[in-house]
A = this chain, B = another copy of it.
Amino acid sequence: MTAAALPGVKDDKTIIVFSGDFDKVMAAFVIANGALAMGKKVTMFFTFWGLNAIRKPQRTGIRKKLLETMFEWMMPRGSRNLKLSNMNMLGIGTKLMRKIMADKNITSLEELIAGAQAQGVRILACQMSMDAMGLRREELLDGVETVGVGTFLGASEEGNMTLFI
Interface residues of chain A, those whose CB is within 8 Å of chain B, are 3, 6, 8-11, 16, 18, 20, 23-24, 27, 30-31, 34-35, 37-38, 47-49, 67-68, 70-71, 74-75, 85-87, 96-97, 99-101, 103-104, 106, 128, 131-132, 134, 148-150, 153, 156-157, 159-165
For residue A37, which residues in chain B have a CB less than 8 angstroms away from its CB?
A: 150
In the complex where A104-B131, A128-B106 touch, is A86 in contact with B49 (Cβ < 8 A)?
A: yes
For residue A161, which residues in chain B have a CB less than 8 angstroms away from its CB?
A: 156, 162
For this chain, the copies found in one complex come to 3
Q: Is the CB of A97 within 8 A of B132?
A: yes
For residue A34, which residues in chain B have a CB less than 8 angstroms away from its CB?
A: 148-150, 153
Which single residue of chain B is at the shortest CB-CB distance from A47? B27
Which single residue of chain B is at the shortest CB-CB distance from A128? B106
The CA-CA distance from A86 to B129 in the complex, in Å, is 14
Q: Can you identify 16 A-B contacts, CB atoms within 8 angstroms?
A: A3-B157, A16-B163, A27-B48, A38-B150, A49-B86, A67-B103, A68-B100, A71-B97, A100-B134, A104-B132, A106-B131, A106-B132, A156-B161, A160-B160, A161-B162, A163-B163
